[in-house]
Amino acid sequence: MMRKRLYNIGAILQGLGITFKFMFRRQPTVPYPSVMKQHAPRFHGLHELRRYADGKERCIGCELCSSACPANAITVIGAENAPEDRRSPGERYAARYEIDELRCIFCGLCEEACPTDAIVLTPRFEMSDYRRGSFIYSKDRLLVPPEAGVGTPPDERPNGIPADLGRVAEVKSTVDIAAGYSATNRGEVLKTHRRGLAG
What residues pair up with 47 in beta bridges, in sequence order? 121
Residue 22 lies in a domain: no
- What's the average model confidence in pLDDT over 164-173? 90
- Give domain status of residue 161, yes or no: yes
Give the integer Cα–Cα distance in Å for 109 and 118: 13
pTM of the complete model: 0.77
**Over 60: is that where the pLDDT of 24 sits?**
yes
Residue 20 lies in a domain: no
Q: Is residue 1 part of a domain?
A: no
- What is the rounded distance in angstroms from the CA atom of residue 121 to the CA atom of residue 48? 6
- In this prediction, residues 140-162 reach a mean pLDDT of 84
Domain around 125: 36-198
Tell me if 10 is assigned to some domain: no
The CATH number that applies at residue 131 is 3.30.70.3270
Asked if residue 114 belongs to a domain, the reply is yes
CA distance 162 to 146: 17
Distance of alpha carbon 197 from alpha carbon 36, whole angstroms: 6
> Could you tell me where the beta strands, DSSP code E, fall in 72-149?
74-80, 92-100, 119-121, 136-138
Give me the mean pLDDT over the 82-97 stretch: 89
pLDDT grade for 72, boundaries at 50, 70 and 90: very high
Instruction: Domain count for the chain, please give it.
Output: 1
Give residues with Cβ within 8 angstroms of 165, minimum separation 6: 115, 116, 117
Asked whether residue 95 is assigned to any structural domain, the reply reads yes
